[in-house]
Chain A
C-alpha cells in the first residue's frame, strides 16, 4: 500500500487542506464546542470581585487604585481536545481503487495535522475486531511524523466488529474527547451499539462512512458468485437491474441507522466516496460545519 510519509504530493495536499481549514474556521477543530473555562491562559476574558482563596497575583491593581475595590482579572484557559481517530482496518477497507483504507488514512492524517497544529491531542486507533489500544496521544505539530508512521503501519486485515472494538476503546481511553470513526461500517453485527457506547461514555462522535464507487453503484450484470472479502462466504446471484435497485435500497437502509443515531444523539455523520479527492471531501465537509461547530 502507498506510504503516506513518502508521498510528497500528499504532504502538499495536506498543507492545502490546512490552509483551507484556517480560512474556514481558524484551524481549530470543534472551535465552537470548546469549554469556556477560565484559567492561566494569555487571553483576557472577564473580571469578578475578589473572594477568599483567589490568587492575589490575579488582582487588578489599577481597578483597586481607581475604585478601592478588589477586582480579580480572569483569563481564558486554552482548552485542548483529545481527538481519537478510529480507523477501520478490516479487510473490506482494503477494497477499491484507491483503497478505502488509504483514503481513510489520508483523511485521518489531514485531521491529525490540523488538530496537532491547534495543540490538540491526537490518538490514532486502528481497529477491526480488536482494537490497538497501545497508541498514546500525540501532541504538538512535531509529532505529526509519528502520526504518519503509525498510519503507514496499518494494513487491512480481519473482520469488523465495531461494538467489540469500541467497548475496548472506551475502557482504555477514559479522557473524553472527539471520536472520529473512519469506516465503511460493514459490520455484520449491529454497529449502532458501538455508537451508543461512545455516547454513553460522553465522547463526541463523528462518523465518516467511506465507500468505493462500485459499492454504492454496482455495475455488475449477469450471474455471479459473490465472495465476502472478510468471511470468505459466498452467495450466487443474478445481477439484474432489479437486484441492483434492491441492493441500493438495502445499502441506504444500512446507513440509515447512522443518520437516525445522528439525529438522536446529536453527533455528526458524513459519507465519503473514494473516487472523490480527499481534500475536496474535507473542505466540503468543513464548509458544511462538520467537525467545526
Chain B
C-alpha cells in the first residue's frame, strides 16, 4: 500500500490525536451535571424501570466509542490517500494512427476506433496517482501528452485522435515511450501490428483488426526527361493485397485534364507497373493525379480508400548550387562527378570563400572545412596529426545510413597514405579498425560529411560507389525529401528557400485542415499534412507547391495483422481507496447514529 496524500507519520499523528479526542469526548459525557428536582422518588421509579437495559446501554455506548474511533481512523486514512494494487507509475499509451489503422471493418468502424476504445479501457484501469502519456505514431511520432495526472485531458486527446493517411513510424514512437519510462511493461502499444516492433521490448502490444483485402497505388513518380526539358516520364505501381482477383479503373489527370483511363485487372498479390507515355507539361508545375475507382475485389471490399489516389508534381528539375574548392589532384574526379549530375550547378570557389553561401553545399577536396555554420562535404582534409595507413580498407561501415545507400565499400583499398581524425562528436560511418575513414558530424547549424583519407591514395574515385557516395552525401545534407516530386504525408517537411532570408509572411493551404507552416530562418517547416493532395506554401513572394500521397506498400498491405502480446486487463488495477474510505466512514457514522438513536430512545 502506498500513501499518496499525507505521509505515514502524519497519518499516525492525526490518527492518534483523533483517537485521543474521541476517547476524551466519550469520557466527557460521563461528567454529569447536577440538577435539583422537586421529587426524586418519581425519577427513581422511572430510572429503576429504565435500568433494566443499563448493561445493554453500556455495551452500546462502548460500541459507539469504537465506531467513532473507526470513523476518525477511516477519515485520517482517507487523508493519506492509500493506493493498493500497485505503485503509482507512468503509463505510456502509444497509438498507431497510420493509414492501415483506417482500414474499414465490417460492420463496425475502422481499426483506429477499436484501438481508441481499448485505450480508453486502459485509462479506466489507471489510478489517479498514475501519470499517463500519449504518443502517436502516424507520420511524425508525436508526444501528444507528456506524463500527466490530468487523465481527463489524455482521454480527450484519445477521443479526438484522427487517423493519418500516412506511413506509421511505430518503432520511433515506441522509442519516445522508452525515453519516458524505464520499465517496458509501462508501455501499451495499440496497433494493427508492426513487424518492426521487437517482441523483446516487453511492451504491452494490443493488436486490432482482421486481415483485409485491398488494392492501392504504392508508387507514383514523375521525372523530367533529361534530354527533353518539359517532358516527363511517369511511373505508377498498383498492387493487389487481396486473396482474390481484383478489378479497378485507373484515371490519370494532369491539372484536371484526363491523360489516361485504363482498366486494371490484378491477380491475387499481383504488382502492376504502369508506365505512362511521356507527358508534356509546358505550363509550369503541373499536378498529376492517379486514381483508382470502381474497385471490385471478389468476395471482399477494398478496405483502405486512402491508397486509391496518388499525387505528384510535374515540376522542373530543381537545380542546387554546389560550391567546389579543390587543391588536390583528385579534385578533378570530384568535379566530374558533380558535373555529371544535372541537378547540381557546380560553382568553383577559391580558398577563403569556403564559408557557406545561403542554400548551397560546399565541397572541399584536400581542405578542412571552416568552423562556421554550413553544410560541407570534406574529401581528404589536410590535418597535422594524420595516422599512416597501408593496405587499409573499410572493415566496418554503416550500410543502413542514407549516405551509404547502394554504396559498396568492399573493394576500396588505400594502398599507402594517411588518415585524419573525425571531428569530436562525429558519427563514424566507416572505419578501418579503429581509424575512422568516413564520418558525419551534425550540430544545430553545421553539417559535415567527411572522408579522412586522401582520395588520390585510394581507388575510391575509380569505383562506381564514388559518385553514388558523393550524391548520397549531398542529397542527405540537402534533405532527401527536398528532391522528391511528392512528399510523404504525416511527415514534417523542410523546405529551404535558396538564397532567401528569414520569412516574414507565411501561409499554407491544402486538403488537410490541420496543416500549418512555420519559418525557422530560411527554412520553412510544414507540419500536419495528413491528407493526400496538393499543398501550396506561400512565403513572402514565393510559392512552393508540394504534392503529397500515401503510396506505401507497407500501409496498403492489410493481409496480415501481427498478433499482440497484451491485453488491457494485464495492467494491474491500482485502486485509490480514499473515496471508499470516506464512504465507509459515512456508513459507520450512519450506523453509529442509528445505535445512538436506539440508545436514547429505548
Contact = CB atoms under 8 A, between A and B. Distances in A.
Nearest to A212: B38
A242 B46 CA distance: 10
Most buried by A among B35, B37, B42: B37
A226 to B, nearest CB: 5
Given A220-B35, A225-B33, A225-B34, A243 B40 contact: no
B47 to A, nearest CB: 5
B36 A95 contact: yes
Nearest to A100: B38
Contacts of A197: none
A235 B42 contact: no
Contacts of B599: 240
A220 B57 CA distance: 19
A224 B39 contact: no
A184 B46 contact: no
A68 to B, nearest CB: 73
A222 B46 contact: no
A247 interface: yes
A12 interface: no
A271 interface: no
B152 interface: no
B37 A226 contact: yes
B38 A92 contact: yes
B35 A95 contact: no
B39 A184 contact: yes
B32 interface: yes
Interface string B29-61: 111111111111111111101100000010000
A56 interface: no
Contacts of A246: 46, 49-50
B38 A242 contact: no
A146 interface: no
Contacts of B600: 238, 240-242
Contact of B37 (A222, A228, A238, A254): A228
B156 interface: no
Interface string A18-47: 000000000000000000000000000000
Contact of A242 (B35, B40, B50): B50
Contact of A223 (B32, B39, B41, B43): B32
A95 B35 CA distance: 12
B61 to A, nearest CB: 10
A233 interface: yes
Nearest to B44: A235
Contacts of A233: 40
A231 B40 contact: yes
Interface string A229-250: 1110111111011110011001
Chain A contact residues, majority secondary structure: mixed
Contact of B38 (A184, A236, A250): A184
Given A184-B38, A240-B600, A242-B50, A235 B33 contact: no
Interface residues of A, number: 33
A251 interface: yes
Contacts of B40: 226-228, 231, 233-235
Contacts of A242: 50, 600-602
Contact of A250 (B29, B34, B46): B46
A229 B38 CA distance: 6
A114 B57 CA distance: 55
Interface string A161-195: 00000000000000000000000101010000000
B39 A228 contact: yes
Contacts of B31: 223
Given A222-B33, A224-B32, A250 B42 contact: yes
Interface in B549-602: 599-602
B30 A95 contact: no
A215 interface: yes
Given A92-B39, A188-B41, A223 B30 contact: yes
B33 A247 contact: no
Given A223-B30, A237-B47, A240-B600, A229 B36 contact: yes
A55 B599 CA distance: 82
Contacts of B38: 92, 95, 184, 186, 212, 215, 228-230
Contacts of A236: 32
A291 B46 CA distance: 34
Nearest to B33: A224
Contacts of A254: 42
A227 B44 CA distance: 11
A161 to B, nearest CB: 13
Nearest to A188: B41
A227 B39 CA distance: 9
A248 to B, nearest CB: 9
A226 B43 contact: yes
Contact of A226 (B30, B35, B50, B57): B35
A250 B47 CA distance: 11
Nearest to B38: A92
A95 B30 CA distance: 27
Given A186-B39, A188-B41, A233-B40, A224 B46 contact: no
Contacts of A220: 35
A243 B33 CA distance: 17
Nearest to A92: B38
A235 B32 contact: no
Nearest to B30: A223
Contacts of A240: 599-602
Contacts of B30: 223
Nearest to A251: B42
A235 B36 CA distance: 10
A251 B37 CA distance: 13
A95 B47 CA distance: 22
Contacts of A227: 34-37, 40
Interface in B505-550: none
A223 B54 CA distance: 13
A247 B57 CA distance: 19
Given A240-B600, A240-B601, A224 B34 contact: yes
A223 B57 CA distance: 13
B35 A243 contact: no
Contacts of A215: 38-39
A247 B46 contact: yes
A92 B35 CA distance: 13
A52 B35 CA distance: 74
A246 B29 CA distance: 22
Interface of A: 92, 95, 184, 186, 188, 212, 215, 220, 222-231, 233-238, 240-243, 246-247, 250-251, 254
The 4 closest A-B pairs by CB, nearest first: A228-B40, A186-B39, A92-B38, A240-B600
25 contacts: A92-B39, A95-B36, A95-B38, A184-B38, A186-B38, A186-B42, A212-B38, A215-B38, A220-B35, A222-B29, A222-B32, A223-B31, A225-B34, A225-B35, A228-B39, A234-B40, A236-B32, A237-B47, A238-B57, A241-B600, A242-B50, A242-B601, A243-B47, A247-B42, A250-B42
Given A224-B35, A227-B36, 7 more contacts: A186-B39, A223-B31, A225-B34, A227-B37, A237-B43, A238-B600, A254-B42
Interface of B: 29-47, 49-50, 57, 599-602
